[in-house]
Amino acid sequence: MFWQTTRFRIDLAQPKVMGIVNVTPDSFSDGGRYGDVDAALAHCRRLLSEGADILDIGGESSRPGAHPVGVEEELRRVLPVLEGALRLGCPISIDSAKSELMRAALALGVDIVNDINAFRAPGALEQVAAHPSCGVCLMHMQGEPRSMQAEPVYGDVVREVGDFLVARAELLRHAGVAAERIVLDPGIGFGKTAAHNFELLQRQDALLHRGYPLLVGWSRKSSLGALTGRGPSDRMAASVAAALAAVQRGAHIVRVHDVAATVDALKVWHAAGLPGRSGTIGA
Ligand code: 8Y4
């Protein structure tokens, strides 16, 4: 299985690690001066040296309760970092739900658009449909970031998430986006209780029989805190365990903060030759 992106056709026979690069004021900020860009690019290089296969660069916090950022501000934060990151020789993903950001990032040559809103914003679908080859990640979210954790309700969360993702994928395909460009993501933590999230992990195989590769992001999320009683900065072991469980259950790409630890764990998992991932050792 492959993921077609702008510059790279990514082989998903082995699980891939997407490293998270947040370009928000609380991450690499000296108040918007050039130091922010340098710090973000230094972080990119570090994640690559640790074994990241893809870098996901975003300028808006999508944590529960976070307030939306204006387009101009997001462009100002993210574009200089994207420009530098595109010279690092690895696939670069833009984490944004805004069509203006997508247009600017695709014009720079970005490889993947990762949209937590699955291209539901006005003009978003048109941006990727107009591009000949960029990769897209469609993520499920119930509600919107500001209010999504208020009272998430599902009948069957796995079925509803799967049906939504396949419907969005079909819409993109009808708009001209080739199937090989599309990856699905259940959106762990986005309008879901801890119980919903763990059910999505336990029954993750049900999201694989749809023919599209699966990307999953458990890294440092609050469901892991609910289980371990630990805060966001102390969830690395839980995050690595969740990433391994997701890969064991067939995930093709894991989105993580702690690249070095995840890559180490995947090496051991691979050497253990466990079945799973289509039943083939290492496949
Ligand atoms: C601590 C740190 C606690 C970060 C929570 C968080 C996903 C994603 C996010 C995901 C895809 C996050 C942009 C949320 N999560 N994109 N983005 N899949 N495709 N929260 O699961 O990391 S941001």
Q: Alpha-carbon distance 193 to 137, whole Å?
A: 22
Q: What's the confidence (pLDDT) of residue 182?
A: 98
Distance 35 CA to ligand 1 centre (A): 25
Sheet holding 92-95, edge to edge: 182-185, 135-139, 112-115, 92-95, 54-58, 16-22, 253-256, 215-216
Distance 189 CA to ligand 1 centre (A): 8
Q: Name residues whose C-beta falls within 8 Å of residue 107's C-beta, 6 or more positions apart in sequence.
A: none
Q: Alpha-carbon distance 83 to 144, whole Å?
A: 29
pLDDT band at 66 (very low <50, low <70, confident <90, very high): confident
Q: What three-state secondary structure class fits 55? A: strand
Q: Please give the number of the atom of ligand 1 that sits closest to the Cα of 95.
A: 13
State the Cα torsion 37-43-46-51 to the nearest 10°: -110
C-beta of 22 in contact with ligand 1 (< 6 A): no
C-beta of 43 in contact with ligand 1 (< 6 A): no
C-beta of 95 in contact with ligand 1 (< 6 A): yes
Answer yes or no: are the C-beta atoms of 81 and 21 closer than 8 Å: yes
Distance 221 CA to ligand 1 centre (A): 7
Over the stretch 147-168, which tens digit does the pLDDT of each residue have?
888 889 999 999 999 999 999 9
C-beta of 64 in contact with ligand 1 (< 6 A): no
* Paired tokens of 71: 């387009």
Q: Mind listing the domains of the chain with CATH numbers? A: 14-62+72-271 (3.20.20.20)
Over the stretch 69-78, which tens digit does the pLDDT of each residue have?
889 999 999 9
* Paired tokens of 184: 């699905």
Residue nearest to ligand 1 atom 2, measured at CA? 220
The DSSP secondary-structure symbol of 180 reads G
pTM over 0.85? The answer is yes
